[in-house]
Homo-oligomer: A and B are copies of this chain.
Amino acid sequence: MTKRAVILTSGGLDSATVLAMAYRQGVQCYALSFDYGQRHRAELLAAARVAEAFPGTLHKTVGLDLRGIGGSALTDDAIDVPVEPTEGIPVTYVPARNTVFLSIALGWAEVLEADEIHIGVNAVDYSGYPDCRPAFIAAFEDMAATATKAGVEGNPIKIVTPIISLSKADIIRRGIELGVDYSLTTSCYQATETGLACGVCDSCRLRRQGFEEAGVPDATRYA
């Protein structure tokens, strides 16, 4: 039977690679994005472009007003996005974001009777976010097994993290092998409406280094 998976798809480089990995393995993919009050719409447009590049993938965007709770440079215009690496957990951390995204993915996975949820968290270049670590993913999977009808009935939904231990360069090499067109993706924390990257934020810096280390041309469109 064809495996079915909800794939968290942000429009960025990491999740595009995760989607490509699942798709090439023959998984029926359900791409899920969130309109959560992020600084720019460019990443939602990028997510739609990425999902379209894999024919047969159903793409859904769920609205969620995380701006209401505030607390992050990514959802609060009053907090600036830093342009230098910072110590500890940075202000771009959105409180409990991956928990919220995985929870909604869990709800959709239950409705779809999907087997897995795939998320492009990365514990190597992880930017100091607590909810990108393997310990968090394992705890979420345990919680999900108790939370859902599927889990209670003995078919717990698995949380799959195919790039959690890869470097940014390895992720890019893997994506290139699988035919990912990274010019479709937007990683920048403060991209322009048309998806041009600032080139100076933490996310741009990690991405640029990744392309350099992978030895492939940087497909990013800079402002």
- A-to-B contact residues, CB < 8 Å: 60-66, 68-71, 89, 93-100, 102-104, 106-108, 110-111, 130-131, 133, 135-136, 139-140, 142-149, 151-152
Most buried by B among A65, A68, A107, A148: A107
The reply to whether B110 and A95 form a contact with Cβ atoms under 8 Å apart is yes
The reply to whether A107 and B111 form a contact with Cβ atoms under 8 Å apart is no
Q: How many copies does the complex hold?
A: 2
State the CA gap A69–B147 with chains docked (Å).
17
Contact of A63 among B64, B103, B107 (CB under 8 A): B64
Contact of A111 among B64, B69, B98, B103 (CB under 8 A): B69
Chain B residues with CB under 8 Å of A71's CB are: 107, 110-111
The reply to whether A152 and B130 form a contact with Cβ atoms under 8 Å apart is yes
State the CA gap A222–B72 with chains docked (Å).
44
Chain B residues with CB under 8 Å of A139's CB are: 139, 142-143, 145-147
Name the residue on B nearest A70 (C-beta).
Answer: B111
The reply to whether A133 and B146 form a contact with Cβ atoms under 8 Å apart is yes
